Amino acid sequence: MKRVLITGMSGTGKSAVVGELAARGHRAVDLDTPEWSEWIDVDPSDTFTPRKGKDWVWQENQIRALHAGRNQGTLFLSGCAENIERLSPLIDKIILLSAPVATIMKRLEARSSDGYDNIEEDRQKVRELIALIEPLLRKSADHEIDTTGPAHATVDEILRLSQLALQRKMPIVCRRVIGRGRAMH
């Protein structure tokens, strides 16, 4: 099974993209939900956290179990968490979603009143985290997509890039044979 992580800062469209992937019939999981992630207590002086004294982390055992599942097709995962690096050996490709800060702020303002990052204090923290964390995500990403366009266009590009990545993982001999129209079993 090929595993593609779609990551990015809050407001870049990760949830919309994973929803569109699922609607198109792909196996897609939003890791930024309580089923897969949790808030933990951290040092209040840590500036890399979304909230003072709190950080959002993936539940590693849950995610490892997810990866141990089906071995066919592509599994698309979306999310961004402090412990992303510890789970990176399970990922084949990382695609970073990004957008201009002004676009992200408009998206966050439009979120429901019970959603994360819907108050000005949260949005200010997102601005800070974009400056601190997005460059680190960019260094680990295999590809970056600007998400200022519609979600369906972003998904089209993710599918194109994930297909290219799959072809690159094949040995050169297999690519040549498949390129000539012969099926390999």
pLDDT tens-digit map of 112-145: 666 565 577 788 888 988 999 999 999 999 999 9
Tens-place pLDDT, residues 149-177? 999 999 999 999 988 755 554 433 333 33
Determine how β-strand 27-30 pairs with β-strand 74-78.
Answer: parallel
Q: How many domains does the chain have?
A: 1
Domain around 98: 2-179
CA distances (Å), 34 to each of 37, 67, 125, in order?
A: 5, 18, 21
**9 close to 126: Cβ distance less than 8 angstroms:** yes
Confirm whether 124 is domain-assigned.
Answer: yes
Q: Is residue 185 part of a domain?
A: no
What's the pLDDT tens digit per position in 69-83? Answer: 666 789 999 999 888
The angle subtended at Cα 166 by Cα 57 and Cα 65, nearest 5°, is 35
93-98/54-58 β-pairing: unpaired
Question: Tens of pLDDT along 3-27?
Answer: 999 999 999 999 999 999 999 999 9
CATH code for the domain in which residue 118 is found = 3.40.50.300
Predicted TM-score (pTM) of the model is: 0.81
Residue 123: HSE in the Cβ half-sphere, 13 Å Cα cutoff: 16
